[in-house]
Amino acid sequence: MFRIPDYVVSQRTRRAVLSRIARWMAGLGFAMLGLVAGLWSAASARFMVPNVATEPTRRFKAGTPGRYPPGHVEQRYKEEHGVWIVHEKYRGRWQLFALSTACTHLGCITLWQESDRRFKCPCHGSGFYPNGVNFEGPAPRPLPRYAIRLADDGHIEVDRSRTFHQERGQWDDPASYIPG
Amino acid sequence: MTPDIAEHLTRVAPLLAAFHAACSAMNVAAGGYAWRGRRRGEALAWLGAAIVFLGLAVGAWAGRPPQLPAMAKAGIDAVLGPATLFLGSLALLTVLYLGRRFFTAPPVGLAALNASLLLFGLSLADPVFASLVAKPDHVPIVGMIYLLGFVTWIAAYQAVENDRRTAAGRGPVEKTYAEKVLVWPDLVYIELIAMVLVSALLIAWSLLLAAPLEQPAHPSVTPNPSKAPWYFLGLQELLLYADAWYVGFVVPCLILFGLIALPYLDVNPKGNGYYTIDAQRRKYLVFMFGFLMLWVLPILVGTFLRGPNWSFFGLYEPRDPQKMAMHVNVTLSEYFWEWGLGRPRPEVDPHAGAWLRMGQAMWREMPGLAVLAAYFVALPLLLRRTLFKTARLAMGRCRYWIAMGLLLLMLTLPLKMLLRWTLHLSYIVSMPEFLLNF
Amino acid sequence: MPLWDRIRRSQVWKSIFRHPPPVDRPNRVKVVLTNLILHLHPVAMPKHGLRLRFTWCMGGITFFLFLVEVVTGVLLMFYYRPTIQWAYHDMLALRDVVSYGILREVHRWGAHAMVITAMLHMLRVFLTGSYKPPREFNWVIGVLLLALTLLLSFTGYLLPWDQLSMWAVTVGSNMVGAAPLVGHEGPASWVTDQSDLRYVLLGARSVGEEALLRFYVLHCVALPLLAAFLMALHFWRIRKDGGISGPL
């Protein structure tokens, strides 16, 4: 003969139903607690990301192009702006462009060595050609260029808020150089 | 002798006299101890060493500190290099491991200590070496070398003794000290004495050596060389062989994860609570290789042997800021396409869509990707049936794959070093378009 | 009655220690049980745990060095201002102007020593297999404490605000910037240099005043609190996992 199993019977008792509701309520409560804790953590993490950074102006004027004869590496903007202004051949054409002074390996500031005509990183010895392309040491990428243009007054203007990466093919962008 | 060397010698002479005298006193004590233990021959040997050190101390006191001959210094510097140092240390540690029953004998240990102290004392007369080890931030690392050597030795000593007892069917030495004692006074007094000694050491150290303070921070002038704190110098040294995302971030995370996972991966119930090597040979070797060869040794190289431009310098070699090693490195895909197939590498069209570029880059880097697949997938599958057959059965699938993954990832570092030294290989997979170099 | 005995029988002494001096067995048991600090210990322990060749005393020394760092660190905080304008100047003052100006030395050398002793403690625990059951989780806490020790030392490294500290931290934070996924220069990056992990760590794109303040807060408040909590857990677990490890 067919018998109803015990556990089905017990589920139908009043106490079982109540305890089931209680378990659901507890589950819901813990879920809410988890949600609040998660939101709180996310909000705290977001709190740690500042919305405003106090940084120096990212745009500066660098004189007229006549100041930079071919093959010249200008060092005077290194100190204040972290920029080399270079007049050098890239893919067979003379260009005037602004390179970041920070090594692409770990951000140490490179040194210009006139005798060997290369940028050298003091941290791990990475070397870059004057056109910014890496050729020795652990640096994985060329130095990035900053946006450069001839302003209406005939002066060069460098804008550090835009970067151009050779490995992404961005050095073909006319905003990354002034034809020399 | 140039004037600055003469000046250096007069300055270090009293220090060296004290150093050699202390070494001499240590040997007298060791000799006396051996004599009382009726080991007459050994006692005479330590007495001889004491006399040698005494002679050196007298020489230093008289203002003529004995030093290594220039030939020896030049020879040591000529041999030293990243590759020789790594392989030499590996060979040395292998010999020490295989011959541990011999090397853990106390007279052998003391003889090795004497030899290192002799070399250290003679080297201190060299101005370059002295400036290296006496730099305030380097002093704790010199201390660490000796401390680490000593504790590794005394651990191996106890392990060898325990293994010998286990082989003879007796329990480890620790078992004979199983009786319970009260914490007060026995342990509390040991702690008190340790606290007093550490405090005294710390105060003396602080009085003798000023904490370094260089020029104020300057965001556009990077000092040459620019070094991380010493405990991260090992990672900085390894950065020469792999990219920052890997060595600077993934490897530390893996070390942390691997250490945390260790007790859960280890299914061997033996060797719990006493020193032993035989009961856990494989694990001992992997751990000590990782700790000594991939953590401590790169720290030592980065601290003492890297100079301006991160060039490698010998122990006695003046730090010349002009010295620069030219190392042009080649990626595996360049080897494969240009050198192997004799044709230019396939190009990645920078203006194509992201997926197409990814596909093109992967086609170009196909040889490297194949190597990695073989290394991370085929090799563990093969080892599972051969070398690690029993281990795989004991560990179960999950433990086996995690342990193999960690082991293989750890071994990428020495393998990349070897490939660099032999083939000038920079990257196995190089996709700068996607900031991914491995 | 000698003065020493009179002190020990005074009401004040008794109110503090609540039992006779630990010269006999019952009172040697009591002294450990009734004293908050000594209560970190068990009452009795196996004799092999006393042998220096077994423990190297490295765990205890690491804890002691942490206490030294806390005390000297708090004292240094009385003179140090974490701003670009003053940080370096205050370092000079701590060396040249204040009395007993070796606190910075004690703090720095103590930190170096603590890194070394923590590493050696871990080596000892590994070599004696003490991480094996039932002590697996305490090993995990120990690994976290070692990582915290390194982080504490690293965050403190920036505070003198000299060339050494600035460039060490620049290199270190750029490694974070190269992390996969969460670093703007890492593989599979989906963040910019104004939203990546390095930016969160430094509070800016490069090491500057924001980074100095963040490292200061981490070094003096956040990390020590976390370390103290984990240490309490670590010591408590030693007791709960059966005391110092030994052969079964």
pLDDT for the residue numbered C172: 86
Q: Which residue of B has its CA nearest to A127?
A: B326
Contact C200 A49 (CB under 8 A): yes
- Nearest CA to C109 among B42, B210, A114? B210
What is the total count of domains within chain C? 1
pLDDT of the residue at A11: 56
**Residue from A124, A133, A163, A171 whose CB has the most chain B CBs within 10 Å, to mutate:** A124
ipTM over 0.85: yes
**Would you list the DSSP string of C94-159?**
HHHTSTTTTHHHHHHHHHHHHHHHHHHHHHHHHHTTTTSTT-HHHHHHHHHHHHHHHHHHHHHHHT
| Per-residue tokens: B44 | 């005479």
Tell me the shortest Cα–Cα distance from C1 to chain B, in angstroms.
25
C231 or A59, higher pLDDT: C231
Question: What is residue B23's predicted lDDT score, i.e. its pLDDT?
Answer: 96
Check residue C117 and give its pLDDT. 97
Evaluate whether A64 touches A157 at the Cβ level (below 8 Å): no
Provide the pLDDT for residue C60.
95
Pick the closest to residue B427 from B347, B349, B364 (CA basis): B364
Which residues fall within 8 angstroms of residue A97, CB to CB, at 6 or more apart?
A85, A86, A88, A90, A132, A145, A148, A176, A177, A178
Boundaries of domain holding C144: 55-159
Cβ–Cβ gap B206/C102 under 8 Å: yes
Asked if residue C82 is part of any domain, the answer here is: yes
C166: which 2 tokens?
A: 């600035």
Please tell me the least confidently modeled range out of B5-14, B27-36, B118-127, B169-178.
Answer: B5-14
Residues of B in contact with C183 (CB under 8 A): 245, 249
Tens of pLDDT, residues B175-200: 999 899 999 889 999 999 999 999 99
pLDDT, average across residues B136-164: 96
Tell me which chain B residue has its CA closest to the CA of residue A108.
B222
Q: Which pLDDT score, from 0 to 100, does residue A12 have? A: 66
Which residues in C have their CB inside 8 Å of a CB on A? 167, 170-171, 174-175, 177-178, 185, 194-195, 199-200, 203-206, 209-210
Kindly state whether residue C190 falls inside one of the protein's structural domains.
no
Read off the pLDDT band of B277 (50, 70, 90): very high
Mean predicted confidence (pLDDT) in C78-100: 92
Q: What is the pLDDT of residues B113-136, one digit of tens each?
A: 999 999 999 999 999 999 999 999
CATH classification of the domain holding C75:
1.20.810.10
Q: What is the average pLDDT score of chain B? A: 91
Residue B363 has pLDDT above 60, yes or no: yes
CB–CB contact B231 C49 (8 Å): no
Is residue C174 very low, low, confident or very high in pLDDT (cuts 50, 70, 90)?
confident
* Residues A101-153 pLDDT 10s: 988 887 888 889 888 888 988 777 788 999 999 888 778 889 999 999 888 88
B138 CB-contact burial (10 Å; exposed 0-12 / middle 13-18 / buried 19+): middle
Domain locations in chain B as residue ranges: 332-437
pLDDT at A180 over 80: no
Q: Which chain B residues are closer than 8 Å to A123 by Cβ?
A: 222, 225-226, 236, 310
Kindly list the partner chains of chain A, i.e. chains with 3 or more CB atom pairs below 8 Å.
Answer: B, C
Cβ-Cβ contacts under 8 Å, A58 against chain C: none
Distance CA B98, CA B92 (A): 10
C181 within some domain: no
- CB burial class (10 A; 0-12, 13-18, 19+) of residue B408? middle
- Model confidence pLDDT, tens digit, residues C23-80: 899 999 998 998 888 888 999 999 999 999 999 999 999 999 999 999 999 999 999 9
Contact C22 B215 (CB under 8 A): no
Can you tell me the mean pLDDT for B389-411?
92
Tally of CB atoms within 10 A around C226:
16
Q: For residue range A6-20, what is the model confidence (pLDDT) as tens digits?
A: 666 555 678 888 889
* pLDDT classification of B94: cutoffs 50, 70, 90: very high
